[in-house]
Structure 1
Amino acid sequence: MGKYVFQKNERLLKRAQFLFLSRHGKRMQTRFFLVNFKENSLEKSRIGITVSKKVGNAVERNRIKRMVREYYRHNKDLLPGRWDINIIARKYAAQLTNRQIPDELGRLFKKIKRPSE
């Protein structure tokens, strides 16, 4: 398979996985996104995306999820190590343009690389 494939085993799917991350993971935030993350012992990093109804209607929520998945798919190799990551869109994330979302996520991914700072 290609380098940019986003397989099912690279996703957080179960509620228990999301709860474990929120209880035991580290947390970082920007004005538009909140990220829970923790290193895992698997062979791949995994990502989960949470966008509540507070963010906007279904079209806006799906756009954000699509943009986050696409950013992760293209940049997952930049993360050293293996991580479980839950990206939670905050209320004002729907105001971001399609060009601003990758910039915002890039800032968060840089922080995940250096979590001690």
Structure 2
Amino acid sequence: MSDKRKSPEQSFSRDLRLLLPADYKYVFNQSIRSSDKLITILAKYNSSADQARLGLAVAKKAVKTAVHRNRIKRLTREYFRLNQDKIACADYVILVRNGIDKKDNSDIVQSLAKQFNYLRKKLTQNN
């Protein structure tokens, strides 16, 4: 039998996630914002974190069905995991807008790439 576990660089471990309400509150207060018609990303540099951390806020009000909410979260986590080397070390919270569930995966990934690229530039300018 082959072992199908992911290696550490392929996983999305707990230390890459925003877990506590205080972590989310930290990002919501005075953060850098990047948004388009699908996604808003809030970012705040965190000197105590040695790597980027991700928090997701996919509201039921914006995306009605659990299937679509889970698809969006899965795409976002996958993009974040695969592009760790291109993402600035900061804390991020992803907020979605109405209508994102009607878009296909490539549109969502393209939006994420554009937003993270913008935030990387802004964060490196400020720090």
Contact 2:32 2:44 in 1 (8 A): yes
Q: CA separation in 2, counterparts of 1:3 and 1:88?
A: 25
Query: Distance between the aligned counterparts of 1:40 and 1:78, measured in 2?
Result: 17
Paired residue for 2:22, among 16, 27, 40? 16
- CA shift at 1:56, angstroms? 1.9
Where does residue 60 of structure 1 map in the other structure?
Answer: 68
**What CA deviation, in whole Å up to 9, does each residue of 1:11-58 have, x standing for no partner?**
001112112211121111111101110111211110001100122211
Alpha-carbon distance change, 26 to 62 in structure 1, aligned in 2, over 3 angstroms: same
Alignment match, 2:45: 39
- Other structure's SS at 1:114 match: helix
The Cα shift of 1:107 comes to 0.4
Structure 2 runs not aligned, ≥5 long: 1-6
TM-score (norm 1): 0.91
Identity across aligned pairs (percent)? 31
CA apart distance, 1:4: 2.2
Secondary structure in structure 1 of the residue aligned to 2:105 = coil
The count of corresponding residues between Structure 1 and Structure 2 is 115
Structure 1 gaps of 5+ residues are none
Q: Residue in 2 aligned with 1:85?
A: 92
Letter in 1 for 2:92: I
* CA–CA distance in structure 1, aligned partners of residues 52 and 82 of structure 2: 13
Structure 1 segments of 4 or more deviating over 2 A? 1-4
TM-superposed deviation, 1:89: 1.1
